[in-house]
Chain A
């Protein structure tokens, strides 16, 4: 069985962590033969390393997974898909190429840093020494997802500029974080449904959570969680 109760519990812990850390709301999964072998969320502020994007964190888990099972990294990566809420940035796109990941599914475009067509198209560029090109599937109804990222970026980065005071718009933060929560929960849904586009659910959830106060979001989320 791919997901157990402890897996779910672990997801909730990671998601709770995301909630309390104010990172950019991106969550991702690396799925190898219907099994999640890497999951990640941004850890940039936490690690003081601006390259700790969700994808890079998930890749580290994939490498650990391969190491523990003594599997060849390249062979595993070549049969692994990445599911991520936001288009991977230029750096992550190049990293996924270097690892020979063949498919990337994402929700909304990333107009600021996107490497799969938004800023540059590194995913299908002719770069013979930078791994293999990969296929990109854009998620449905990306408008709402874009809106959420924009909402997040309206806040100030607590580490970015130390001369400004740090003000959060709490409802928005939580709404955005709920999306991370959702992403961490949904693998189990989409695995059971043969990786049915989870973005559909993701979007309807975000629409719902955008309209209720954040504490209600949380409690309803946990209700839903226990229900599952």
Chain B
């Protein structure tokens, strides 16, 4: 552990060189989808509340609960002050896009104060992030229940300098392990499992594919966490850079309040730092292991936490977690760059 401690001092000031961005679900990161609707000017402002009430009864627009029914007119000096959504174009069966207000409303509807309809585009889905909200609200006003954490995270400002310094240290440990793996003739990938509650490294691993084709760094790390809990299946004695720390050496375990000792369960509540985006097998192994959060340096071609899949946001799976990318991205990319270089050399041969 001695060299890592030295590194911590030297690198803590480099935390400005990288930004951790969240890897959000497709729903959170996709473009704003628009659908067409008929709107009509409200010529007489006094009729507004009646018109909204009666239109809500006639065309409830259940799928568009996020849309505000009425908007103020944008342009200065507009002949009418407000505009109201009448219905979706798809709700007006068999209607052309050029319609009269009479064809949209039943004969017993009081049309007082309502002008002739026109087509507008409104956001089809509620906005989930501030960027989505800002784009969507240009088309039609809508409600937005903001997740402040996501907003801050998207700006890359979620973590304080102190947190970033810790993250920097853990990823540096993963990088050191990755280099050890590379020196042993394996792929340059390193992983570190951390208990964030205790600020403590539980396991450090690197790729061990030399003896076992499935011993990717993340799989090794998960097994080392199991060993730290008295389980595990493999011995990594021939790889000194792969190690774990047993919870028995944990000073917090014997709590003075007489609480029952905390029993760690697989990777619940742990953070994983890995130099590159995990593959499908490793990502699903992290789902099975109930990992708390995952931080990775660079993306990978078949990656399953953002690139090919987003297993951490997969609706059908029973565990979801936060993923951040970009930690020490430059240094992690350099590892991969070397690897690509080796691969090309290999292909040439």
A146 to chain B, nearest CB (A): 15
| B284, A91: Cβ atoms closer than 8 Å | yes
| B284, A94: Cβ atoms closer than 8 Å | yes
Interface 1/0 per residue, B202-243 and A, CB below 8 Å:
000000000011100001001101100111110000000000
| A56, B214: Cβ atoms closer than 8 Å | yes
| B288, A50: Cβ atoms closer than 8 Å | yes
CA distance A18 to B287 in the complex (A): 24
CA distance A129 to B300 in the complex (A): 10
- How many residues belonging to B are interface residues under a CB distance threshold of 8 Å? 37
Closest A residue to B288 using CB positions:
A50
Q: Find the residue from B219, B225, B231, B290 having the highest chain A CB count within 10 A.
A: B231
CA distance A119 to B317 in the complex (A): 8
| B302, A128: Cβ atoms closer than 8 Å | yes
**B265 within 8 Å of A (CB atoms):** yes
CA distance A48 to B224 in the complex (A): 10
| A48, B279: Cβ atoms closer than 8 Å | no
Give the number of A-B contacts (CB < 8 Å). Answer: 103
**A49 within 8 Å of B (CB atoms):** yes
Given contacts A47-B231, A49-B231, A51-B288, contact A95 B281 (CB under 8 A): yes
Contacts of B226 in A (CB 8 A): 47-49
**B103 within 8 Å of A (CB atoms):** no
Interface 1/0 per residue, B147-188 and A, CB below 8 Å:
000000000000000000000000000000000000000000
The B-contacting residues of A in range 39-61, CB under 8 angstroms, are 43, 46-52, 56, 59-60
**B309 within 8 Å of A (CB atoms):** yes
| A73, B213: Cβ atoms closer than 8 Å | yes
Closest A residue to B266 using CB positions:
A50
Is the contact region of chain A dominated by helix, strand, or loop, or is it mixed? loop
CA distance A113 to B288 in the complex (A): 9
Within the complex, which residue of A43, A119, A125 is in contact with B308, where a contact is CB–CB below 8 Å?
A125
B224 to chain A, nearest CB (A): 10
| A50, B290: Cβ atoms closer than 8 Å | yes
| A48, B214: Cβ atoms closer than 8 Å | no
| B284, A115: Cβ atoms closer than 8 Å | yes
| B232, A122: Cβ atoms closer than 8 Å | no
Closest A residue to B316 using CB positions:
A119
Given contacts A51-B285, A52-B233, A56-B214, contact A122 B280 (CB under 8 A): yes
Interface 1/0 per residue, B275-318 and A, CB below 8 Å:
00001110011011110000000001110100011010010111
CA distance A129 to B231 in the complex (A): 31
Contacts of A60 in B (CB 8 A): 212, 233
Within the complex, which residue of A48, A56, A119, A120 is in contact with B230, where a contact is CB–CB below 8 Å?
A48
| B280, A90: Cβ atoms closer than 8 Å | yes
CA distance A52 to B234 in the complex (A): 11
Contacts of A118 in B (CB 8 A): 316
Contacts of B263 in A (CB 8 A): 162
Contacts of A59 in B (CB 8 A): 214
Closest B residue to A130 using CB positions:
B302
| A130, B222: Cβ atoms closer than 8 Å | no
Within the complex, which residue of A47, A90, A120, A162 is in contact with B232, where a contact is CB–CB below 8 Å?
A47
A23 to chain B, nearest CB (A): 13
| B281, A91: Cβ atoms closer than 8 Å | yes
Closest 10 pairs between A and B when the two form their complex, measured CB to CB: A48-B231, A91-B284, A94-B281, A94-B280, A49-B226, A50-B288, A90-B284, A129-B302, A48-B226, A50-B289
CB-defined A-B contacts under 8 Å, sample of 29? A48-B229, A48-B230, A49-B233, A50-B222, A50-B266, A50-B285, A50-B288, A51-B219, A60-B212, A89-B284, A90-B284, A90-B311, A92-B281, A94-B279, A94-B280, A94-B281, A94-B284, A98-B213, A98-B214, A99-B214, A112-B316, A112-B317, A113-B284, A120-B309, A120-B314, A122-B280, A128-B302, A160-B265, A162-B263
Known: A89-B284, A91-B287, A94-B281. 7 other contacts (CB 8 A): A48-B230, A49-B225, A50-B288, A90-B287, A90-B311, A125-B308, A160-B265
